[in-house]
Every structure is written in C-alpha cells, then in structure tokens.
C-alpha cells in the first residue's frame, strides 16, 4: 500500500458485511457514528480466542489461563501505544465511553467535588457527558455550566476563558461531536482549564476512529473511547487516566480481581489498573479491540484522517447542490460526519425511504438533544463515514435523497 494513498478496494474487501445486499441493493453503510463494521481480522481474532484460547485471566496457574492473560494484557499494551499513554497502569478496560465517564464522575467526582464546585461541559455533548454530571449536581450540589456554541457548531475559546474560575474543577468536553462532526480545539481548551487548576476529561468516542490521538500531547487527565466505533467489538472501551489520579481515586465497583486481600473487617485493593476492573472482564472484547487498533495502525491513522477529510468535502459539496437540504453544523474543523435536514420532510421519513435503496443512515437526535434544541430541529439525518466508504457511496446517498424528495414533497 502506498505511503500516502489509501487502497480503498483492499481495505473494503476486509469487511465481509459490506458484501450484503439490503432491500435488493448493495449495502451503503453510513452509520459509522453509531457503530462501525468489523474487519475480518477482528472477527477472526475473537473467534480464535473462543475456539482456542478461552480461559479466565489473572487467576489460573495452568497454561491456557496464562496464555489468555498474556493476550489480555497484550491488548492493554496495544491500547497504551495507540493512545501514547505513559504506562499500562493508565489504561483501564471498561464497557465503553459511557462507563468510562460514569467511572470518573462517581469515583473521582464524588471524592474531589463538593457543593458549589463547577463542572463545565459544551453545548454539543453527548448525553453520556451530560447526565452523569447532572446526577452529581442533584445529589451533591455541584454546579453544571454550559459552554455555548455558535450556529456553525463551534465553541469560542474566549468564551471559555470568561467562564472558568477558581470554582471550576473539571472541564468535560467532546473531542469530536457525534451530531455535528465538529473537532474541538482540545489542546487550547486544556490550557485554559489548567490556568485555574481544573482537570480535563475528553470524550474521544468519535475522535479515535478518525484521527491520531496522543494523550500526552493533549495533556488531558482523562480520555475515554469505545471500541465498537473504531472497527472493534461492542462492550469494550478504554478509560485513560493519569496514574496519580487513578492511585488516589476510590474503586468504582467492588468484586473479584480488584482486591489484594479481603476480610470482614477490611479490604485491601489491587494495584493499578486492576483496582478499577472488578469481576471477569470482557477478555475477548479487549483482544478484539487490540486487533482493531492494529488494523487502523496498519492503514495509517494520518492516512485515514486525510482520506475521510476528502469524503467529507465531497459529501458536503454534493449535498449543498440539493435544493432544500440544509447542513446542520459547518464548523471549520470537522471529522467525517455530515448532518442535514430536508425542508418539509421529517428526518425519520427520509431515512426510511433511503433504506429502501440500501442506504443506512441515522435519523435521530443522536443522543445530543441540546444540539437539536440549539438548531431548533427535532432530529437530523446523519451520514457518518468510515474507512470503507467512498465517493460512490456518497453519490448513491445523494441519488436516494433526490428520489425520496420526489416522494415526500
């Protein structure tokens, strides 16, 4: 494969589900923001684990368990490298971004926040980065402050500077909006938060499939990702957190493997990161996630970003040529997501008709209702791209919109 150009045919051929037909048409899958499809190497890795390597980890002294443990901990090292964390102690396996954020809220938050302290989120956050802080607000009396966005779907750094104060203890922000595609200036936002001593949590669920992420370069305190959005299996994700913070945080859940010793009088907790991994983990999921990370690295993370930027540009241009289509979210810096509405047509009706042409898009509030409220729309149609999409997919998307438009309007 050329060092700068993505070999689309070679990449696409690795995804068996894309050979399916939907309603008699070749499948065009454009709902990657919800979940991505899985390459054969990920499917094979998970199947091989259950067929040849299945055993519980960390507990057995027999060979099969030791090999399973080696694979599981190897996945942790792969995750460390993927995010450029300093140590595997900073990599906690979780079910996904939602659990990662809840872990931070209920462990770090309850131990470090008190009534009157402030958490700042942006207006474009996924519900997973809103509701946990609302729970703490209602239960502990913290203050939840919203950094508003403009009508392009961008936050203003000067506005953030005006919001932060000595009461600000945490800035919880999305790296890339799932509803708009906006890529936030995380490094600059981290610097602003640092100026008042606040910690920074980054929701990276949408960013990690589309770009290289270096947590040391970002200097964030917490970073969360979901495996199923980056060509890996469901039910697995990673919480990156700085080692010193994890050392000081109390456990999120109690049970097996997160302990060193237990009596009825006292429990001593295990070392990092196991203190936060109670019970039998999603072993196959972690191994499958590592395979997905290797798949992405084999293509090249910068190459993926450049390829998808081209798709986004082409899709934006084509959609703007359709009378009545309005793109929601036109930030200067965007990832491979384009949300739109068609005047006079409900997004659900539009998406249902497009499905008849084999086009899979998402019509929803995208678990980002405040975004819909900002733009005064009930929902949008969202086309979100993966490394296996191409311009032909976009052309079929546009043709399906035109056909649906004739039926609806």
Q: Which of 135, 367, 398, 399 is catalytic?
A: 367
- Bridge partner residues of 240 (DSSP): 91, 223
Q: How many C-beta neighbours within 10 Å does residue 5 have?
A: 10
Q: Which of 228, 248, 250, 253 is nearest to 238 (CA)?
A: 228
Q: Which residues pair with 147 in a beta bridge?
A: 122
Please give the Cα distance from 351 to 362 (Å, whole number).
7
Q: Is 156 a catalytic residue?
A: no
Would you name the residues annotated as active-site residues? 367
């Amino acid at each position: 494969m050329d060092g700068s150009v993505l070999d689309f045919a070679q990449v696409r051929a690795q995804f068996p589900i894309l050979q399916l037909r939907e309603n008699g048409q070749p499948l065009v899958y454009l709902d990657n923001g919800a979940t991505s499809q899985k390459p054969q190497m990920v499917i094979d890795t998970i199947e091989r684990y259950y067929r040849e390597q299945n055993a519980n980890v960390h507990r057995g002294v027999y060979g099969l368990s030791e090999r399973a443990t080696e694979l599981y901990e190897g996945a942790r090292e792969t995750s460390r490298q993927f995010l450029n964390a300093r140590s595997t102690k900073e990599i906690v396996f979780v079910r996904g971004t939602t659990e990662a954020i809840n872990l931070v809220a209920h462990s770090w938050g309850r131990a470090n926040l008190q009534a009157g302290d402030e958490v700042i989120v942006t207006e474009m956050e996924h519900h997973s980065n809103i509701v946990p802080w609302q729970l703490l607000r209602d239960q502990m009396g913290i203050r939840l402050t919203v950094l508003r966005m403009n009508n392009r779907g961008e936050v203003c750094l000067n506005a953030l500077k005006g919001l932060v104060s000595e009461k600000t203890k945490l800035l919880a922000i999305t790296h890339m909006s799932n509803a708009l595609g906006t890529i936030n200036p995380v490094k600059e936002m981290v610097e602003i938060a640092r100026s008042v001593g606040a910690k920074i949590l980054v929701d990276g669920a949408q960013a990690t499939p589309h770009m290289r992420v270096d947590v040391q370069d970002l200097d964030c305190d917490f970073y969360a990702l979901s495996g199923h959005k980056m060509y890996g299996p469901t039910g697995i994700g990673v919480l990156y957190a700085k080692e010193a913070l994890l050392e000081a945080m109390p456990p999120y859940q109690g049970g097996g493997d997160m302990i060193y010793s237990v009596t009825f009088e006292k429990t001593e907790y295990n070392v990092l990161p196991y203190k936060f991994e109670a019970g039998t983990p999603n072993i196959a999921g972690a191994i499958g996630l590592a395979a997905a990370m290797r798949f992405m690295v084999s293509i090249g993370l910068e190459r993926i970003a450049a390829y998808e930027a081209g798709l986004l540009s082409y899709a934006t241009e084509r959609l703007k040529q359709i009378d009545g289509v309005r793109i929601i979210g036109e930030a200067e810096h965007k990832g491979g997501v384009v949300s739109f509405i068609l005047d006079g047509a409900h997004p659900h009706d539009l998406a249902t008709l497009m499905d008849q042409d084999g086009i899979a898009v998402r019509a929803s509030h995208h678990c980002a209702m405040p975004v819909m409220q900002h733009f005064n729309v009930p929902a949008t149609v969202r086309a979100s791209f993966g490394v296996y999409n191409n311009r032909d997919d976009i052309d079929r998307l546009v043709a399906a919109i035109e056909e649906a438009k004739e039926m609806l309007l």
